[in-house]
Each structure stands twice: as structure tokens, then as C-alpha cells.
Chain A
Amino acid sequence: MRPVPVPRRLAAAIAIAASVALGVALTAPASAQELKIAVAADVTSIDPHFFNLFPNNNIAEHIFDKLVQMDADSRMIPGVATSWKTLDDRTWEFKLRRGVKFHDGSELTAEDVAFSINRVPTVPNSPGPFSAYTKAIVGIDIVDPYTIRFRTAAPHPLMPNDMSTIYIVSKKVATGAPTEDFNSGKAAVGSGRYKFVRYVNGDRVEIVRNDAYWGEKPPFARVTFRIIKNEPARMAALLSGDVDAIEQPPTADLARLKSDPKFTLTSKISHRVIYFNFDHLDRSSPFVTGKDGKPLEKNPLTDVRVRRAISKAINRPAIAERVMEGQAIPSGQLVSEKLFGHNPALKAEAYDPEGAKKLLAEAGYPNGFNLTIHGPAGRYVNDEKIVQAVAQMLARVGITAKVETAPMGPYSGRASKQEFSFHMVGWGASTGEASSPLRSLLATFNRDKGLGAVNWGRYSNTRVDYLIEQALQQVNDENRMIMLQRATELAMADLGIMPIHFQFTMWATKKNVAYTPRTDEYTLAFQFRPVRQ
């Protein structure tokens, strides 16, 4: 039995009709105090430690604080911690801000930080815990209410990065509180810029400004996040005036948005790289056959010349221009320009179909072979269209390609079991630096060490592994950067994975609202501000 995509276009038609009707009903001008944002993905919980899932974190960013925050370019800036330093190779010390108050009026101290870190691995039924970011910590010392120390078993330079992912909950309120108490609001007490009001699963999250926040106060007093998964429906909600801003406007509508004076389009390069995995296993690859349709005994994708040929056959600028409507930058590596570990020497592979044919002939496939390309449906911007465009480009160098797509859930299930030969995925460097994709996508798969967790093609190169492991323990920033760059360079020379582009994250707003865009793709209410017309 095969999975079937939800009849989303039908749902779309209904949703459009409904939102247009709503728009007519709600044409009263929104006050400058209130902001309605349509987001693209379901929020599954308000518990900030339950599931490390982008839409959940997006809401948690408002309600909860972290020791370290990320600015719009994914650089670390002080959060609840005002400063941090290493005392020795294996001890980090964080100094906490004084006078940070939870929404219930109690003060945030080192006790709450320690409690939050200890809570992370204990949340029951967590489908994707944050424990990867706390497991380096072997001991916590509370020196005084405003000083906390973390001890690690090995040198751990990424401690501040890790701490930029852990939300701080109140020890008093959250002790013993199950995830349901967060969803109902009982335990959803943080110290963030906004206070929790209401969460309706699959529909909306409402929050209200925290006027006691320690930092700059956000301009909008009340914010509603509407969850509208369907692209045309989200777009219709903006056009009808139902919401003030949407994330991920459909690229098909960009031309219209740009030319319409009632709306503003904001975009920024994302930390997410869109790439293809090759089957690196020494076997008869499941979706590669000879031109006669018979399985090939040897997997051609294990030959770096074949991988290089495929990479050369792909016209990345054409995909960025025509498929992505200019909302992508061709890529030859894992993290985009401003991120730590970006290697300026690595350029996107140039389009060279003749070179590709030559390499295929050299590798012993002068007539190419048959290949089925797999891709997710509706997970990344224009994912199905990218896969089809890649298929036609491969067809032109002799690799007869078929395309199969499926929704992300069942798709990733199959991909992670090495059921595909050549398939597309995306990866966001959530820690804001290159070690994140390197250790997850390119390090040799090793469940015990937590390495190569998403290395679905099973690429393995001992030199890359060595550099990654060294970099993860290298406390000196400059040395670590060089190691990350070098590891990336080696993996890219091998085409362990094949990057296509960095997608842009886009937001469309009404003219009277402006958004400061972010590389981490978050849609944060406090980054919106009213614009006088």
C-alpha cells in the first residue's frame, strides 16, 4: 500500500472560499496594536522541550527566553546570559542577567536554568527531543543565583550554540507538569517577550505582549498566529485582509506581490541548503537500471565521476531563476555566506552538459542509465518542481530519469532506510554554523556517537570524519573554522551530497507592516513593526 497525499487542492479550494468569505466579514481595519500572522506549518505543542520542530520553536521563541539568542544573521548574542566563557577545557561559565522576571512575576535564576536543562531528556513521549544539545553536559554547578557552570566530559566549544536552542521554563511552575499543561497554558510560563493566551491545535496560537520584558519591548501588543498550511489559501488570507502578514508566499504569486502596491515582499537567504543524496552503498542500487531496464549489478553512483557528471548536468542558475523565481542562490556547499564555517573557495558547480557526458563515458556509461529520482511533496519551496527540472536536465545528458514524489512523512521514512538511489532533501543549520550539516549529513553513520543521523546516502570518508570530530572539540574559533571549511571541501570534492541551492525565506506583509527578515526562517512577531504611510 502506498501513501496518498491529502487531497490538498480540494482543501485549498474550500479554504480559499472560506477565507474570502471571512475576509469580507472582517474588513474592519486592524488596530496598530494587533498583528495577525499566517504561518505555514502546524504547531504541535507549546511545551518548548517536547519536540525540536521548527513551528513549535517558532512559538517558543516568543514565550520563553534562552541563555543565548540568535540575531537575524544567526550570530549569537546575549540572552538571559550576559556573558559566557570557558574556565578550563571542560567547564563553561554563564553569567545571568539580573531582574529577569517570569510572566507570573517570579525571578529567573540559575535554578530555573538548571531545571530546564535537566527537564529536556525527561519529557515523556518526545518525538524529537532537544537532548542532543544537552547531552554534552555531565554536571551543572550553581555558583550563585546569577552564575551557572556546565561541566563536560570532553572539550565542547559548541556550548553557547547548544544553549541557543534550550528554552528556559520556570522551575516553580513546570515541576512535574506534563506537556498537556503547557498546551492548556497552565505551565506555559516563560520570561519571553510575549505571554501565552490560547492555543487551538491546528488552528491558531494567541499571545499578548509581556510589558515586564527585560529587553526592548515589541511594537505589537496582541499577536495571533493563524495556521494555514495551504499556499493559495494563505495567499488568499493576505489578499483578503484577513491577516497582516504571511510566511512563505507561493513563488507562483511573487510577480503579483511585487507589482501590487498594497503589499511588501521581504526575503532573506536561509540557513537551509537544498541538496540531493546519492546512494553510496556498494550494492545493486534499487532505482538504477541499465538502458535495457535490467538492474545494474554495480551501483554507478559509487563512482565519483558519475556523481560529478550528474552535478555538472544540473543547471543550477536555471533552477534558481525559472523554478524558484529568483528566490534561491546556487550552492556548492553546506552553509550560506554569513554562517560560521562557510568556505568562500567553494563555488556552485558550473553547468556543463558536455563535460557531464564525457565523464559518464569515462566511467563506462557512454549511453547513460535509467534512474528514478525521489523527492518530497510540499516540504521545501517548490520541491516537486525542482525534482522534475533536475530530471529533465539529467535526461539531456543521457540519464533517463523518472520522478516520484511523496509527502515528507512517508518519504523520509523510506529515505532513512536507504530505499532510494537519488533523492532530494533540505537541511537547516539550526546552530548557525557548518558543524551542524557536517555531523548530521556527512559524518559516517554512527548511532552511538549521534553522528550521521541524517546521512541517508551512507556517505563515509574517514578523513572527513576525523576533521569533524576534531572540529567538534576544538575550542579555538579560528582553528575550528579552518577544520570545518576543510571538512566541507573534502566532502564536496567527493560529492558526498550534491547541494543545489540555498532557498530564500520570504514574508509578504501589508504595506503598513514591515518585517526584519531572518536567516533562520523564523517568523517572529517582535521583528514586525508598523510603518507609517
Chain B
Amino acid sequence: MSTVVPAVPEPAARAAQSPFARIASDFVANPVAVFGLVLLALIVAAAVFAPLISPQNPYDLAQLDVMDSKLPPGSKSPNGGTFWLGTDDQGRDMLSAIFYGLRISLMVGAASTVLALLVGLTMGLTAAYLGGRIETLIMRIVDIQLSFPAILIALILIAVLGQGTGKVIAALVTIQWAYYARTVRSAALVEKRKEYMEAARCLALSPARIVFRHLLPNCLPPMIVVATVQVAAAIALEATLSFLGLGLPITEPSLGLLIANGYQYLLSGKYWISFFPGVALLATIVSINLVADQLRDVLNPRLSR
């Protein structure tokens, strides 16, 4: 069997420029998107370096003192520092708690998105390539799952699985794989009828090779767009679960739980316990969405020029 495979032509190879350079130059054309990207980079940096830049480890109970609880932003801390964003009802420094909370939120968002993407891609490509009963079965499961509200499925899963980071990720993956499966299937159905696919089949390549070397790369652009949007959705959903008290342990609050803790103090004017984590959550989701929007425009051949 021949091992030399003729290069399958890229459908959108319209310039001598490499595709990455083209994407990059299109991306920076929009200043709002650049702002989003910079903001996102800062947030990711804050999350990654949280242990180095936080004034306090908010998850180490020995470092907290309930005597410092509910202090307003700018208060002096007893060990000489300053609580720039105030403290919560356990005396936790809000700034540190937000850095650590971002860490959890981004980690959960990224991990669940990558896993859901893998599951969704596999299922969607399988359905599109094999067709027939398997396709019907997979796509009906997808239909059924997409007809339930995401939060409902998440609540049921947490109820069954129990609480904890891994379980929250598992719940998010279960919810989100269906979106990817549906998107990749429709993209794959279009690609499947193109000539290069026919050529690949004529060469009697193995199905796995056809799917992963030829079909998959050409279905990726829409998936990247869906994935970036879904990261934001996953982060929001994790925050919702935490806000409802279903996410992570109360001594290791993520952004949603921080907001929930402060929510009861809103009426009494202690706004900072909910407000700043809320701003952090908002900034994260907005920046991801800005980047995702621009990526969609850049990667969509129909929108380009």
C-alpha cells in the first residue's frame, strides 16, 4: 500500500501568508478585541501567579482571623499590610481570595472545555463519518441533552456525584460535549462531500486516518470559536453552582461562593464582599467573549473580505 499521500489542498489558502500570521493580523485589527486579549492575559497571569502575588493564602485557615472580618477596602491588617479590597465574613483578604478564586474558575473552565471538546469532537466526527444508525443514536442523545436547561443537568449531576472540583468538571463536561458534537457534525457533513475527502477514500486510507488527518483539521475553525464561547459559559456555570452552595468546600471559596457569602451583607452596606468578586467574574467572562467574538470573525471565511 502506498505510503505517499498527496497533500490535500487547503480550501482557504488564499495568500502566500501563513494562516497563523493572517489570523494574527486580522485579530489585532480590532482594538476592542485586543483590549479583551490583554485583560484576559492579565487575569490568567493573576490566576497562575496567585500564590506569589497574594498578600495572604486565603485557604490557609491559620492565616485568617475572624477579628479582621468585614473590614472595608483599604483597612490596615494587623501584620502591617493593607486589605486593599476589604475582608469577608471570616476575615479573608478579598484581593487574595479573588486571585485564588480566579485560579479555580479558570482551571475548572479550561479543564472542562478541553475534555468536553475531546468528547464532543470524537462523538460528532464518528456520527458524521459513519452515518446511519450510529449517527441517529448519537445525535438524538445530543438533541435530548440540549433540550434540558444546563443548570438543571448540573444540579442533578452534582446531587448524584457529590461535591468537589473533579465532580464539578465532570458535570460541566457532561453538559457541554453535546454542543461540540452538534457543531462538529454539521461541519464534518459539509466537508465529507468535498473532493479531497473523496480522493482520500479512493486512496483506501484507513478510516481513522481519514477522520483525524483530513476531516478533523478542516472542521477545527468553528470548534475553536465554540470552545472559546463555552469556556466563558463553563466559568459562569461553575460560579452559579458555587453561588447555590453546590460547588467547592466553603473554606476554599471560588468566585461564585465569594459572591454568595457577600450577598447577605448587601442590604447592610458591606458591598465589597460581593462586589469585587463579581467584577472579577464579569471581567473574566467579558474578556473571553471579546476574544471569542473576534476569533469567530477572523476564522469565518464567509465574513472575511
Chain A interfacial positions (CB closer than 8 Å to B): 1-2, 4-5, 7-10, 231-232, 235, 239, 250, 252-256, 315, 318-319, 322-323, 377, 384-385, 388-389, 391-396, 400-405
Given A1-B160, A7-B155, A388-B251, the answer on whether A395 and B60 have CB atoms closer than 8 Å is yes
Nearest first, the 8 A-B pairs at minimum CB distance are: A395-B62, A395-B61, A2-B162, A392-B61, A7-B244, A256-B268, A389-B66, A252-B264
Given A4-B246, A404-B249, the answer on whether A323 and B162 have CB atoms closer than 8 Å is no
> Could you say which residues of chain B place their CB within 8 Å of the CB of A231?
264
We find that the number of chain B residues with CB closer than 8 angstroms to chain A is 33
Q: Are B243 and A9 in contact (CB under 8 A)?
A: yes
> Could you say which residues of chain A place their CB within 8 Å of the CB of B264?
231-232, 250, 252-253
Chain B interface SS verdict (over half): loop
> Could you say which residues of chain A place their CB within 8 Å of the CB of B89?
252, 323, 385
Q: Are B249 and A323 in contact (CB under 8 A)?
A: no
Complex alpha-carbon distance, A239 and B266, angstroms:
14
Q: Are B66 and A402 in contact (CB under 8 A)?
A: no
> Could you say which residues of chain B place their CB within 8 Å of the CB of A5?
244-246
Told that A392-B61, A393-B66, A395-B61 touch, could you supply 8 new A-B pairs with CB distance under 8 A?
A: A4-B155, A4-B158, A318-B66, A377-B245, A384-B250, A392-B64, A401-B61, A403-B250
Q: Are B62 and A392 in contact (CB under 8 A)?
A: yes
Q: Which residue of B lies closest to A385 (CB)?
A: B89
Q: Are B250 and A405 in contact (CB under 8 A)?
A: yes
Q: CB within 8 A of A253: which of B64, B65, B268?
A: B268
Q: Are A256 and B269 in contact (CB under 8 A)?
A: yes
> Could you say which residues of chain A place their CB within 8 Å of the CB of B158?
4
Given A1-B159, A389-B66, A389-B90, the answer on whether A402 and B267 have CB atoms closer than 8 Å is no
Which among B66, B163, B269 has the highest number of chain A CB atoms within 10 Å? B66
Given A1-B162, A318-B67, A319-B66, the answer on whether A403 and B246 have CB atoms closer than 8 Å is no
> Could you say which residues of chain B place their CB within 8 Å of the CB of A7?
155, 244-246
Q: How far is the CB of A376 from chain B (nearest CB, A)?
A: 13
Q: How far is the CB of A450 from chain B (nearest CB, A)?
A: 36
Given A318-B67, A392-B61, A392-B62, the answer on whether A8 and B245 have CB atoms closer than 8 Å is yes
In the complex, whether B288 has a CB less than 8 A from a CB of chain A is no
Q: List 28 A-B contacts (CB under 8 A).
A: A1-B160, A4-B159, A4-B246, A7-B155, A7-B244, A7-B245, A8-B244, A9-B245, A9-B260, A10-B244, A235-B267, A252-B89, A252-B265, A253-B267, A255-B268, A256-B268, A318-B66, A322-B66, A322-B70, A323-B89, A389-B66, A392-B65, A392-B91, A395-B61, A395-B62, A401-B61, A402-B251, A404-B249
In the complex, whether B69 has a CB less than 8 A from a CB of chain A is yes
In the complex, whether B129 has a CB less than 8 A from a CB of chain A is no
> Could you say which residues of chain A place their CB within 8 Å of the CB of B61?
388, 391-392, 394-395, 400-401
Q: Are B90 and A388 in contact (CB under 8 A)?
A: yes
Q: How far is the CB of A20 from chain B (nearest CB, A)?
A: 12
Q: Are A2 and B244 in contact (CB under 8 A)?
A: no
Q: How far is the CB of B56 from chain A (nearest CB, A)?
A: 12
Q: Are B267 and A256 in contact (CB under 8 A)?
A: yes
> Could you say which residues of chain A place their CB within 8 Å of the CB of B66?
315, 318-319, 322-323, 389, 392-393
> Could you say which residues of chain A place their CB within 8 Å of the CB of B155?
4, 7
> Could you say which residues of chain B place their CB within 8 Å of the CB of A384?
250
Complex alpha-carbon distance, A384 and B155, angstroms:
22
> Could you say which residues of chain A place their CB within 8 Å of the CB of B246?
4-5, 7
Q: CB within 8 A of A9: which of B60, B91, B244?
A: B244
> Could you say which residues of chain A place their CB within 8 Å of the CB of B260?
9
Which residues of B35-80 are within 8 A (CB) of A? 60-62, 64-67, 69-70
In the complex, whether B275 has a CB less than 8 A from a CB of chain A is no
> Could you say which residues of chain A place their CB within 8 Å of the CB of B70?
322
Q: Are A388 and B162 in contact (CB under 8 A)?
A: no
Q: CB within 8 A of B69: which of A253, A323, A400, A404?
A: A323
> Could you say which residues of chain A place their CB within 8 Å of the CB of B159?
1-2, 4
In the complex, whether B84 has a CB less than 8 A from a CB of chain A is no
Q: Which residue of A lies closest to B70 (CB)?
A: A322
> Could you say which residues of chain A place their CB within 8 Å of the CB of B270?
252
Complex alpha-carbon distance, A9 and B263, angstroms:
9
Q: How far is the CB of B217 from chain A (nearest CB, A)?
A: 42
Which among A252, A389, A403 has the highest number of chain B CB atoms within 10 Å? A252
Q: CB within 8 A of B250: which of A250, A253, A388, A392?
A: A388
Q: How far is the CB of B225 from chain A (nearest CB, A)?
A: 30
> Could you say which residues of chain B place their CB within 8 Å of the CB of A252?
89, 264-265, 267-268, 270
Q: Which residue of A lies closest to B155 (CB)?
A: A7
Q: How far is the CB of A309 from chain B (nearest CB, A)?
A: 15
> Could you say which residues of chain A place their CB within 8 Å of the CB of B69?
322-323
> Could you say which residues of chain A place their CB within 8 Å of the CB of B245?
5, 7-9, 377
Complex alpha-carbon distance, A319 and B90, angstroms:
10
Q: Which residue of B lies closest to A323 (CB)?
A: B66
> Could you say which residues of chain B place their CB within 8 Å of the CB of A232?
263-264, 267
Can you list, as one digit per residue, whether each of B270-288 has a CB less than 8 Å from chain A (1) or not (0)? 1000000000000000000
Q: How far is the CB of A426 from chain B (nearest CB, A)?
A: 19
Q: Which residue of B lies closest to A377 (CB)?
A: B245
Can you list, as one digit per residue, whether each of B154-193 has a CB less than 8 Å from chain A (1) or not (0)? 0100111011000000000000000000000000000000
Q: How far is the CB of A10 from chain B (nearest CB, A)?
A: 6
Complex alpha-carbon distance, A256 and B267, angstroms:
8
Q: Are B265 and A402 in contact (CB under 8 A)?
A: no
Q: How far is the CB of A330 from chain B (nearest CB, A)?
A: 14
Complex alpha-carbon distance, A405 and B250, angstroms:
8
> Could you say which residues of chain B place their CB within 8 Å of the CB of A8?
244-245
Q: How far is the CB of B273 from chain A (nearest CB, A)?
A: 10
Given A9-B260, A256-B267, the answer on whether A392 and B90 have CB atoms closer than 8 Å is yes
Complex alpha-carbon distance, A250 and B67, angstroms:
20
Complex alpha-carbon distance, A2 and B249, angstroms:
14
Which residues of B243-260 are within 8 A (CB) of A? 243-246, 249-251, 260
Q: CB within 8 A of A322: which of B67, B243, B249, B263?
A: B67
Can you list, as one digit per residue, whether each of B129-173 has a CB less than 8 Å from chain A (1) or not (0)? 000000000000000000000000001001110110000000000
> Could you say which residues of chain A place their CB within 8 Å of the CB of B163?
2
Complex alpha-carbon distance, A245 and B265, angstroms:
20
> Could you say which residues of chain B place their CB within 8 Å of the CB of A253?
264, 267-268
Complex alpha-carbon distance, A403 and B251, angstroms:
7
Complex alpha-carbon distance, A394 and B162, angstroms:
27
> Could you say which residues of chain B place their CB within 8 Å of the CB of A404?
249
Complex alpha-carbon distance, A402 and B251, angstroms:
7
Q: How far is the CB of A83 from chain B (nearest CB, A)?
A: 49
Complex alpha-carbon distance, A9 and B159, angstroms:
17
> Could you say which residues of chain A place their CB within 8 Å of the CB of B65?
392
